[in-house]
């Protein structure tokens, strides 16, 4: 079902856990499959994502998508991170089965939710 790259990332995920002293958090879920994904980030005053980590309850595709997406946004600006699409995650993973595409969408949505949280809360500093 999964290609070699997806299985490799699933077995050796990067950025698992929670960022210490995060200032951005996004949690999303898919009611149909039961996958839940949370991404935390630390974004500096220049709008650069210094660190990003994930906690995911879900299948191999959900874990691989979370790991890949967080790796792709670390060191990027908020604007660049917002340009990341689920298709970019799928390309980086060298494909996902059609019934697992929603996992890459969760990763995109979690990043957007975390950045939205950051944007709404940075003014209250």
Q: How does pLDDT run across 14-62, given as a tens digit for each residue?
A: 999 999 999 999 999 977 778 899 999 999 999 999 999 999 999 999 9
Phi and psi angles of residue 26, each rounded to the nearest 5 degrees, phi first: -140, 130
Nearest to 71 by CA among 54, 86, 59, 83: 54
Average pLDDT, the chain: 95
Name residue 79's beta-bridge partners.
Answer: none
Tell me the C-alpha distance between 94 and 51, whole Å: 24
Among 25, 33, 59, 105, the active-site one is 33
Q: Is 59 a catalytic residue?
A: no
What pLDDT, on the 0 to 100 scale, is given for residue 123? 63
Domains of the chain: 4-122 (3.90.1010.10)
Q: Is 33 a catalytic residue?
A: yes
Among 103, 107, 111, 115, the active-site one is 103
Tell me the C-alpha distance between 48 and 120, whole Å: 16
């Amino acid at each position: 079902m999964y290609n070699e790259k997806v299985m490799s990332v699933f077995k050796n995920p990067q950025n698992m856990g929670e960022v210490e002293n995060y200032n951005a958090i996004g949690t999303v879920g898919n009611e149909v499959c039961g996958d839940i994904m949370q991404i935390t980030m630390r974004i500096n005053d220049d709008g650069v994502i210094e660190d990003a980590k994930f906690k995911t309850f879900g299948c191999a595709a959900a874990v691989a998508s979370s790991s890949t997406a967080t790796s792709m946004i670390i060191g990027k600006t908020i604007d660049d991170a917002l340009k990341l699409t689920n298709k970019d995650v799928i390309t980086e993973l060298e494909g996902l089965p059609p019934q697992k595409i929603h996992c890459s969408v969760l990763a995109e949505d979690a990043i957007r939710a975390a950045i939205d949280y950051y944007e709404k809360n940075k003014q209250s500093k």
